């Protein structure tokens, strides 16, 4: 008899609000957070899904900064990126030096391929980072922050509110008022067992009422 093996459960995603305004001009980049970064390793190591969702009509742009979206990884591993949203490209697979506006240097970078502040995309930007042992906890603070903030991510955006362009930074993981997607996804087998239990309970109730 072949045993039924449950699939790996999805771990709770880690969410970062991109709430550090680095845009120039009146009003900066508008209301913060300008975007949100969600990391999910699905309880596994070696594969982390990254999703970056702009808010308030903001768009990803390529305005001459080193890149459009930057991040760091502990240990500076060589990475592979899969499932990258169309129109974006990976700048490098090894740790380098990518300047993002006022947020100093980052290690890895994704670029929107169409340049110009008026040629942005609303996204979302999605991709998988593959590297031996990497998890959601592998994403690290920039080696050189600005203003004392703990900057983990940075993005070049066009503000849908002010029309300004520039960098926005993502600080510490969100712990309050986080999106409802920050929930543990039940294992498929657990969901089946839960459903079976509810069915059995309903049958018992019907029998009692009938007796």
- What are 97-130's pLDDT values in tens digits? 776 767 777 889 999 999 888 899 999 999 999 9
Q: DSSP character for 190?
A: H
Q: Does the pLDDT of residue 13 top 60, yes or no? A: yes
Question: Residue 2 — φ and ψ, nearest 5°?
Answer: -85, 125
pLDDT at 188 (0 to 100)? 37
Pairing of strands 35-40, 14-18: antiparallel
Residues 6 or more apart whose CB falls under 8 angstroms from that of 59 comprise 120, 121, 122, 123, 157, 158, 160
User: Average pLDDT of 60-85?
Assistant: 91
Contact 125, 52 (CB under 8 A): yes
Contact 126, 83 (CB under 8 A): yes
d(CA 52, CA 127): 9
**Rg (Cα) of the chain, in Å, rounded?**
21
Contact 29, 157 (CB under 8 A): yes
Does residue 22 sit in helix, strand or coil?
A: strand
Q: Which helix (H) or strand (E) holds 98?
A: strand 98-99
pTM (2 d.p.):
0.76
Per-residue confidence band for 89, with pLDDT thresholds at 50, 70 and 90: very high
DSSP one-letter string for 56-87 = TT-EE--SSSS-SEEE-BTT----EEESPPTT
């Amino acid at each position: 008899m072949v045993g039924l093996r449950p699939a790996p459960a999805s771990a709770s995603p880690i969410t970062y609000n991109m709430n550090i305004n680095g845009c120039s001009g009146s009003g900066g980049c508008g209301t913060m957070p300008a975007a949100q970064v969600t990391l999910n390793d699905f309880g596994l190591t070696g594969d982390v899904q990254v999703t970056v969702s702009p808010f308030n009509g903001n768009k990803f742009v390529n305005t001459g900064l080193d890149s459009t979206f930057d991040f760091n990884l502990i240990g500076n591993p060589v990475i592979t990126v899969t499932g990258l949203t169309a129109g974006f490209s990976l700048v490098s697979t090894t740790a380098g030096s990518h300047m993002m506006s006022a947020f100093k240097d980052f290690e890895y970078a994704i670029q929107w391929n169409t340049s110009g502040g008026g040629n942005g995309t609303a996204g979302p930007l999605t991709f998988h980072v593959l590297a031996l042992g990497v998890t959601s906890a592998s994403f690290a603070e920039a080696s050189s922050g600005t203003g004392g903030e703990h900057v983990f991510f940075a993005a070049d955006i066009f503000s849908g509110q002010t029309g300004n362009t520039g960098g926005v930074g993502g600080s510490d993981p969100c712990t309050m008022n986080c999106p409802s997607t920050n929930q543990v996804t039940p294992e498929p087998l657990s969901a089946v067992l839960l459903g079976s239990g509810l069915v059995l309970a309903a049958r018992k109730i019907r029998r009692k009422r009938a007796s």
